[in-house]
Amino acid sequence: MKVNGKNYTSIWVEDNNKVFIIDQRWLPHEFKIVELKTINDFSNAIKDMWVRGAPLIGVTTAFAFAKTMQLDSSNDMLNQTKSILLSTRPTAVNLHWAVKKMFNFLIKTPIDHRAHEVFKKANQILSDDIYSNRKIGEHGFKIIEDIANTKKTNSINILTHCNAGWLATVDWGTATSPIYFAKEKGIDVHVYVDETRPRNQGAQLTTWELFHNDISHNLIVDNAGGHLMQHKEIDLVIVGSDRTSSTGDVCNKIGTYLKALAAFDNNIPFYVALPSSTIDWNITDGIKEIPIEERDPKEVNFVQGKDKNNNIISVDIAPRGTKSRNPAFDVTPSRLVSGLITEHGICDANYNSIKKIKNFSEGNL
């Protein structure tokens, strides 16, 4: 997608083996590009959220193996890389997925072929992500088009929560992909962006993406969406997902559940855009079974922004010493979800419908 008129992805390779990322910690205030060279660079980038978003964490993980294997393709290094990466963000599903995928591939590859094969494999994971998101956009576009046809309008208002945009993936994003697709097709989309406290990924990242890609939008506080829905100012909600149960319960950034309740109460379609790899087949009751990470309470007490001298700083919003609780995700029960938009098509949020998508992704359909 575009930044200052130029095309970027959130991670990319130059000269066949140099890996670059956008250091997202400074967005929207500063656009910093960083080369990741060592395992420490990769581990810090994931742990300290220079990169974030489930799909991007997965791709970054793949390139961490690529870089280490190029220097030393021994089994020792392979095991060490695995354990360092797994310790960065223990609850990130795509981290585990990518570690497993790369490790299993490499352990089967003869040591003297690893350096050569590993970049090809990582590049494949990167391309698959782009392809998958583009397909999510195509499928999701049909929902937007249908609403436009039914309402006999070319202006569609979409609410999104957090950042399930291209910065969370390699390109296109998940929840934003149908929006970019609709814009390409000439639909006049307007996006309401939840700021998404505590980390403000909506205010910092989604607004920045939409601005640079010329999509009309308004920033709103997380409290405002229900009121806008009551007054028919929202036609559709699209969010991403960090993990979705086989029965359609959706784990996503904290606050998603509240927006799903409001959408349901106001008869507004509530869709979840996700690559099918996000579906966890071991889980049937999302609320009971998905453990919710409680992050550092400082994220609640402090807010990062730019001061009048253009320095990026944090300010303390509560009395010093106030104890906070900071659950990072919540689970939206399937009964509130209108459907899942995957790279293989749209399905209902129930086991039988999701199962068809699984069969599709496994080539059984």
Choose, by CB under 8 A, the member of 2, 107, 305, 365 that binds a second copy: 305
For residue 80 the two structure tokens come to 């060490």
Distance CA 35, CA 20 (A): 4
Distance CA 249, CA 37 (A): 38
- Residue 301 binds to a second copy (criterion: CB under 8 A): yes
- Span near a second copy by CB under 8 A; candidates 13-21, 60-68, 168-176, 193-201: 193-201
- Residue 62 binds to a second copy (criterion: CB under 8 A): no
Q: 213 phi and psi, to 5 degrees? A: -110, 20
Quick check: helix, strand or coil at residue 316?
strand
Question: Between the CA atoms of 310, 316, 317 and 318, what dihedral angle is there, to the nearest 10 degrees?
Answer: -170
Least distance in angstroms from the C-beta of 198 to a second copy? 5
Choose, by CB under 8 A, the member of 213, 284, 304, 353 that binds a second copy: 304
What is the number of alpha carbons within 13 Å of residue 89 lying toward its C-beta?
Answer: 28
- Span near a second copy by CB under 8 A; candidates 80-88, 140-148, 165-173, 255-263: 255-263
Question: Between the CA atoms of 85, 90, 92 and 95, what dihedral angle is there, to the nearest 10 degrees?
Answer: 20
Which of the residues 23, 235, 242, 330 is marked catalytic?
242
What is the number of alpha carbons within 13 Å of residue 83 lying toward its C-beta?
Answer: 5
For residue 111 the two structure tokens come to 């040591």
Q: Is position 15 annotated as part of the catalytic site?
A: no
Quick check: helix, strand or coil at residue 251?
strand
- Residue 230 binds to a second copy (criterion: CB under 8 A): yes
Quick check: helix, strand or coil at residue 344?
coil
Cβ distance to a second copy smaller for residue 103 or 211: 211
Interaction pattern, residues 313-342, with a second copy; x per rule: CB under 8 A: xxxxxxxx-xxxxxx-xxx-----------
Secondary structure element (H or E) that encloses residue 102, with its range: helix 93-108
Choose, by CB under 8 A, the member of 129, 222, 235, 280 that binds a second copy: 222
- Residue 253 binds to a second copy (criterion: CB under 8 A): yes
Choose, by CB under 8 A, the member of 10, 177, 200, 241 that binds a second copy: 200
- Residue 164 binds to a second copy (criterion: CB under 8 A): no
Query: Could you list the active site residues?
Result: 242
- Which residues of the shown chain bind a second copy in the complex (CB under 8 A)? 28-29, 192, 195-198, 200, 203-204, 207-208, 211, 217-228, 230-231, 253-255, 257-259, 261-262, 265, 287, 292, 300-308, 313-320, 322-327, 329-331
